[in-house]
Amino acid sequence: MQADQLEPVTRAPMTDESPQNDDSAAGGLFPGLEPAPQAEKSAGYRVLARKYRPKNFEELIGQDLMVRILTNAFELGRVHQAYMLTGVRGVGKTTTARILARALNYSVPAHDGAPAIDRPTVHMPVLGEHCQAIIDSRHVDVIEMDAASHTGVDDVREIIEGAKYKPAVARTKVYIIDEVHMLSKSAFNALLKTLEEPPEHVKFIFATTEIEKVPVTVRSRCLRFDLRRVEPATLVAHLDRICRAENVAIEPDALSLISRAAEGSVRDSLSLLDQAIAHGGPGRTIPAEEVRAMLGLADKARVIEIFDALMRGEVARALEGLQQQYDEGADPAQVLTEIAEFVHLVTRAKITPDAAFAASPPEESKAAKTYAGQLAMPVLNRAWQILMKGIAEARESARPLAAADMVLVRLAYAADLPTPEDALRKLGWGAPESAGAAPAPAATGRPAPTMAATAPRAGFAGDAGAARATAMQAAPAPDSAPRASFAKFEDVIARAAAERDIQLKILLERDVRLVRFEQGQVEFSLAPGGSTHLPQVLMRRLQEWTGERWIVALSNREGYPSIAERRAEEERERQRGVAADPLVRAVLEKFPGAEIVSVRNASEAMDQAAAPAGPESADDVIYADDDESGDDD
């Protein structure tokens, strides 16, 4: 919910004499902010993350989905026994846990004509009997435990023993375990039974930043809420309200810089705002440039200038821009990060040109749309990959400026390289641009044909390479079979036979138990004794025959019988049918030990007699008998 949609409500002032827990996340801002009372100011400074910590769900920002679910659950009386709150640091996990504990124990006597409230509810317009103690983390029935320092099974046993007893003063005993993923395996196992069947008066609230480390047996027993990062626009409005409440003058662009640097964390943004206020000094407006210097960020206009120089291949201008940013205090790795963010913005503008980018300044969005119309998608994709690798290099290097320089040099020269399809056209491979050819490999995600892989290298090998490329372009394409398109698996076997690849044909018919076949993808299981190298061999052959990348995978499913198995079963059926013939049965009885070797009709027998000795076809190789008769199996 947006902070400007909330109405002020009455709340009791807090005093600094109450203990506070600095580990809580500042998850939101109550919109009816007033400057702190004079007594509170004189008592000592409190950081903004503690001073403006939300007290109820109405003050929580950026978590609308969770608030709506909890509101409906409490109104329906469907209060869960355990809650799991997960998210990045500073989005309000511990704060939400305290608000939830307050909601579970909310109790207010009748006052000013309003009826008394003595039931769990998320609507808490005034402080109840237990609210202030819960907010201050000093309530006897709301037990907070930091799992980072209490990881053992003995700590969990204390919880289990304490859960047996009813709350002392409140309605519900609530256990809040922060960073629950730090508990040991034995501690989790000890907690499982109590977590699954807790007493009626006990509720559990867990908070963690690493949900994947929590055993699935624990997660399955909890109602899980993923607290989201707060949107930049919401965070800027939140910071602006705090600045007005604190009588601090600051430029809007400075707040935007802080919100972007916080990456959706409210607590991080308030800590940075604290630092910016101290940096700006008393009685003056805090400019965006000072905040940018404080954060070590790059000037966005200069970042765009560096990007422009890189895309034009002007290395010297790009390096000069980076040096200027470095001299003014910008971190080289951060400059590369800003360039990468602009590449991402340009890519989005190219894909969705009509979309509005609310998180970016208008000038930056306009520049991104301009570059989107000028740069090809392969160029942007290549720039992104180089920058992602280069950022890690700059951060890990002992000389970050030199590492960033080399990244820019690499990126500038890569920007001049032709795309793979352009290189192939210049070398004579593939159809010209005006011929309406199929999409290039960079656009489709498929690699170029195998023969084209050597063509670009020949073009960059000096005079001899250029001569070879010219000869390749002038010479006609080698005589080869046309590119194939297979509608069914039998077409692949037929192509192997046509290519005289008898070994592959044998393997496909004997070892492949087909699970699924479609253009570009084959999935099968192996018959007993089948070769595990068959998927790789088949994938290479399919790419050679079709010019496209194929996915060939082994499946753990049984699949249909192989072609050889089906033919063998058909042959057995024929033999059983023939053995039932009275004449054949009489012959077998007359000659003890005789057996039916094969069954052929008259035309097959004539073809067999006319055929020359030795196997001439793939069928002869696959189905020849081991005996000296040479008959088909």
> Are residues 58 and 120 located together in one domain of the fold?
yes
> Are residues 367 and 465 located together in one domain of the fold?
no
End-to-end CA distance of the chain: 76
Give the Cα-Cα-Cα angle 242, 247, 253 (nearest 5 degrees). 65
Domain range holding 377? 300-416
- DSSP code of 553? E
Here the contacts of 132-139 (C-beta below 8 Å, separation 24 or greater) are: 132/12, 132/14, 132/18, 134/98, 134/101, 134/102, 134/105, 135/14, 135/55, 135/98, 135/102, 136/14, 136/18, 136/19, 136/20, 137/19, 137/20, 137/21, 137/98, 138/18, 138/19, 139/101, 139/105, 139/170
Question: Rounded to whole angstroms, what are the CA distances from 308 to 337, 390, 573, 605?
Answer: 16, 18, 75, 78
Strands 223-226 and 82-86: parallel
The answer to whether position 543 is within a domain reads yes
> Are residues 514 and 383 located together in one domain of the fold?
no
The answer to whether position 630 is within a domain reads no
Q: Which residues contact 390 (CB under 8 A, 6 or more apart)?
A: 336, 403, 404, 406, 407, 410, 411
What pLDDT does residue 627 have? 41
What is the rounded distance in angstroms from the CA atom of residue 632 to the CA atom of residue 615?
11
What pLDDT does residue 498 have? 87
> Are residues 397 and 426 located together in one domain of the fold?
no
> Are residues 401 and 446 located together in one domain of the fold?
no
What is the rounded distance in angstroms from the CA atom of residue 179 to the CA atom of residue 84?
11
> Are residues 530 and 402 located together in one domain of the fold?
no
What pLDDT does residue 429 have? 54
What is the rounded distance in angstroms from the CA atom of residue 428 to the CA atom of residue 374?
26
What pLDDT does residue 336 have? 93
Q: What's the average pLDDT block by block, 10 residues per block, for the chain (633 residues)?
A: 38 39 39 42 73 89 90 91 92 92 89 80 88 90 91 91 91 93 92 91 94 92 92 90 90 88 88 88 83 78 89 89 86 90 90 68 81 87 92 92 93 73 60 41 36 32 35 39 74 87 87 87 87 85 86 84 86 77 76 74 59 44 38 41
What pLDDT does residue 571 have? 80
CATH of the domain at 271: 1.10.8.60
> Are residues 264 and 334 located together in one domain of the fold?
no
Q: Residue 181, Cα to own-chain centre: how many angstroms?
A: 21
What pLDDT does residue 610 have? 56
> Are residues 46 and 65 located together in one domain of the fold?
yes
The pair of three-digit structure tokens given for residue 319, joined into one six-digit string:
């390096």
The answer to whether position 602 is within a domain reads no
CB 261 within 8 A of CB 236: no
Q: For residue 100, give the nearest of 172, 19, 4 by alpha carbon.
A: 172
> Are residues 18 and 118 located together in one domain of the fold?
yes
Instruction: Give me the number of domains the chain comprises.
Output: 5
Reduced DSSP (H G I as helix, E B as strand, rest coil) percent helix, strand, coil of the chain, to 5: 50, 10, 40
Rg of the chain on CA atoms, in Å: 37
> Are residues 411 and 510 located together in one domain of the fold?
no
Q: For residue 54, give the nearest of 14, 81, 83, 89 by alpha carbon.
A: 14
> Are residues 51 and 156 located together in one domain of the fold?
yes
Of 519, 534, 560, the residue at which a domain comes to its end is: 560
Helix axes 332-351, 300-311, angle to 10 degrees: 70
Helix (H) or strand (E) holding 83: strand 82-86
Determine the 3-state secondary structure of 500 from DSSP. Answer: coil
The pair of three-digit structure tokens given for residue 454, joined into one six-digit string:
């050597």
The answer to whether position 311 is within a domain reads yes
What pLDDT does residue 602 have? 62
What pLDDT does residue 232 have? 85
CB atoms within 10 A of CB 415: 19
The answer to whether position 479 is within a domain reads no
Strands 202-208 and 173-178: parallel
Q: Which residues contact 73 (CB under 8 A, 6 or more apart)?
A: 79, 80
Helix (H) or strand (E) holding 49: helix 48-51
CATH of the domain at 356: 1.20.272.10
> Are residues 176 and 254 located together in one domain of the fold?
no
What pLDDT does residue 557 have? 82
**Exposure of 337 by Cβ count < 10 A (0-12 exposed, 13-18 middle, 19+ buried)?**
buried
